[in-house]
Structure 1
């Protein structure tokens, strides 16, 4: 088990680099370029939110997994904006090689499964892949169009994309999205449809990309934000799913982790090792959940609130595993960066045993068994310095 788990962790550490791959899109507030990891998180959120609009037979759980993986190759080949002159055949060859290189870090069975899913998305032939692709074409356009003051050059790219570009097929494939985009381009309010009823929430979710956590990227270049963190722990839960209890539904876990930090848009991040008024934090997060999920149609609001409450309570098998993964990721990063937030917050081994060890042992004891010897070694070494 140890060698297999170590290989899985090395893969999960390597993909941290996606957080440093910038895209041509900007955040809605125009403050900076979006990166490929937070884009992947928001696309997964689009999939969950737009599930009622998918054709019968589409598996949203498979779509979410495709979207978590779809841009990993950009760690090696970078992002290629659609509006630039590009040798797309050369890009395709480079991405195929990059996919093989990255997924080969995993145990053979997982490498094959992930590569097959990534290739299915790229081929764009199955129902699941077509829906995933349509969302990947929609989200960047609406990230431009829902901004308070969209850049003129970005609007021009959207217009070209709709009028004969890659998104033109949405006119028949996803007509409500196409019509809403055309309305926003000319400054009109989109007609009320099942699509537009969900667009406000998805635009609001962009703010999670500007909520920064106490943990740093493995490169050390900056602090991690909550959107890319959510993407990363979803990958953690998926890749490490064999260490969950038998009755755990990994797809429900992924949905919990997709949603779990959305409340931080209003309530902010509260570091686990910081000094927090837990009663006040709980009240702020509850109010945030009501406001944010309340932007959705009533049935989705109820579903998302229920998932969020289940994660917070951590009493079900699914929630216990989700909480274990959420606690496990930061120590892996801190060990790889010389202590990270443990140094910033002067954290003791006893604090980690209580705040991390207890939920990880409760939801995924094998992960704690792998982590504990490394914690012992780290704190033993720092004690002699």
Structure 2
């Protein structure tokens, strides 16, 4: 028992880094967002939308998947999507670093729990199961919500276009498509309010 608890404490200590590992998003009060804050709100969204989903999900599994997904960033760091979406070499490095991080977590725990976390992380990455698709969609939707709440001056130009690139992540589930439409509408309102021409952005 003591040995197992020591292993758990190592992972909990590792997770503390997520409280100061900063994302590219900014909060409505002008402070930069931490990975831990993002993960917490994605988890909250999962609890809130779960009753509205068209298929049954195992909420315990969904929450575990969401929480474990970003744990690797405590070791690998966070790279924003706009840095990797057009850079295959950087994307490969990101994948390698994150894969090594989840292997290290599995090795540290060295038990059934470590294997479960490892399997859940890869299930999220592969996005083949319904739970994994929901987790991925909520991850993307929360990021856009946070952008909508932040001052427009914190947005990079690429993020104007990215505001309308969420369809592929939600097209499997009506509830998430409807949620995406609401979030996109907020983004459009924010961009228009800042005097940004959307003609060439929404494609």
Please report how far the alpha carbon of residue 54 of structure 1 lies from its aligned counterpart in structure 2 after TM superposition. Answer: 2.1
SS of the aligned residue for 1:169 comes to helix
State how far apart, in whole Å, the 1-side matches of 2:183 and 2:159 are.
Answer: 9
Task: Give the alignment's TM-score, normalised by structure 2.
Answer: 0.81
Compared CA separation, residues 84 and 43, structure 1 to 2 (3 A): same
State how far apart, in whole Å, the 2-side matches of 1:65 and 1:122 are.
Answer: 14
Compared CA separation, residues 155 and 170, structure 1 to 2 (3 A): farther
SS of the aligned residue for 1:187 comes to helix
Q: Deviations over 1:70-96 (max 9, x none)?
A: 111111211111112442122112211
Q: Deviations over 1:312-366 (max 9, x none)?
A: xxxxxxxxxxxxxxxxxxxxxxxxxxxxxxxxxxxxxxxxxxxxxxxxxxxxxxx
* Cα contact 1:57–1:127 (8 A) shared by 2: no
Gaps of 5+ in 1: 189-385
* Cα contact 1:54–1:131 (8 A) shared by 2: no
CA-based RMSD: 2.0
1:209-248 pair list within 5 angstroms = none
* Cα contact 1:103–1:114 (8 A) shared by 2: yes
Please report how far the alpha carbon of residue 170 of structure 1 lies from its aligned counterpart in structure 2 after TM superposition. Answer: 4.5
Which residue of 2 is the match for residue 311 of structure 1? none
* Cα contact 1:8–1:107 (8 A) shared by 2: no
* Cα contact 2:72–2:101 (8 A) shared by 1: yes
* Cα contact 1:121–1:129 (8 A) shared by 2: yes
Please report how far the alpha carbon of residue 117 of structure 1 lies from its aligned counterpart in structure 2 after TM superposition. Answer: 0.7
* Cα contact 2:26–2:154 (8 A) shared by 1: no
Structure showing greater relative contact order (alpha-carbon pairs closer than 8 Å, 6 or more residues apart) = 2
* Cα contact 2:133–2:169 (8 A) shared by 1: no
State how far apart, in whole Å, the 2-side matches of 1:57 and 1:92 are.
Answer: 30
Larger Rg: 1
Whether 1:154 and 2:158 are equivalent positions in the alignment is no
State how far apart, in whole Å, the 2-side matches of 1:155 and 1:168 are.
Answer: 20
Gaps of 5+ in 2: 191-203
Compared CA separation, residues 19 and 168, structure 1 to 2 (3 A): same
* Cα contact 2:163–2:187 (8 A) shared by 1: no
* Cα contact 2:137–2:169 (8 A) shared by 1: yes
The one of 169, 178, 181 equivalent to 2:180 is: 178
